[in-house]
């Protein structure tokens, strides 16, 4: 499933980010294949917020649709 289906409060594991440039930028912010992150907020039809400890990243909904994930909890 893709990140846009994650729900607030769920822990998700990143499976794949298709675009190479986005992949490189995301990895610097701690988002990469295999990492487990908390979906800390989801704005209605808007960005999905992923949290790793104190770090929060907002991901636009269109981008979230392209990122495949697996839910952990």
Partner 1 sequence: MSSCHNIISLDIPYDGKKLVLVGNPNVGKSVFFNALTGIYVDVSNFPGTTVDISSGKYNDLYVMDTPGVYGVSSFNDEERVARDVILNADMILNVVDAVHLERDLFLTQQIIDMGIPMIIALNMMDEVERNGLSIDVDKLSKELGVPVIPTTATKKQGIHIIKTSLHKACTGNKIKGIDNLLDEVIDKVSVKSEALLVLEEDENVCSRNNLENKYNYREHIYKIRRERVDNLVKDTVSETNEGASFRTKLGRYMLRPLTGIPILCLSLYITYQLIGVFVAQTIVGITEEVIMGEYYYNFIMNLMGNFVSETSFMGLLLIGEFGILTMAPIYLLGLLLPLVVGFYFILSIMEDSGYLPRIAALTDRVLTSLGLNGRAIIPMILGFGCVTMATITTRLLGSKRERFIATMLLGLAIPCSAQLGVIVGLIAPLGGKMVMLYSMTILGVFVITGTILNKIMPGESTDLLIDLPPIRFPILQNVLRKTYIKSKQFLLEAGPLFVLGAIIITVLQYTGALEVITNSVAPITEGVLKLPKETAQTFIMGIIRRDFGAAGLNTLSEAGLLTPLQTVISLVTITLFVPCIAAIMVVFKERSMSESALIWIGSFVISFLTGGLLAQIML
Closest to 11 measured CA to CA, from 49, 38, 40: 38
Applying CB under 8 A, among 7, 55, 70, 71 the residue interacting with partner 1 is 55
63 binds partner 1 per the rule CB under 8 A: yes
Q: Which uninterrupted H or E stretch holds 50?
A: strand 48-52
SS3 30: coil
Pair of tokens at residue 42 = 């989801």
Q: Any contact of residue 13 with partner 1 (CB under 8 A)?
A: no
* CA 16/CA 23 separation, integer angstroms: 9
* Nearest approach, Cβ of residue 2 and partner 1 (Å): 13
Residue 61 binds to partner 1 (criterion: CB under 8 A)? yes
> Counting contacts by CB under 8 A, is residue 46 touching partner 1?
yes
Chain residues in the site for partner 1 (CB under 8 A):
20-30, 32, 35, 41, 43-47, 49, 52-63
């Amino acid at each position: 499933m893709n990140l846009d289906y994650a729900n607030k409060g769920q822990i998700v594991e990143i499976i794949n980010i298709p675009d190479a440039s986005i992949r490189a930028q995301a990895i610097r912010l701690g988002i990469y294949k295999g990492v487990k992150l908390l979906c800390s907020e989801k704005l209605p039809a808007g960005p999905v917020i992923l949290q790793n400890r104190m770090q929060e990243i907002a991901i636009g909904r269109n981008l979230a649709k392209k990122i495949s994930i697996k839910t952990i909890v």
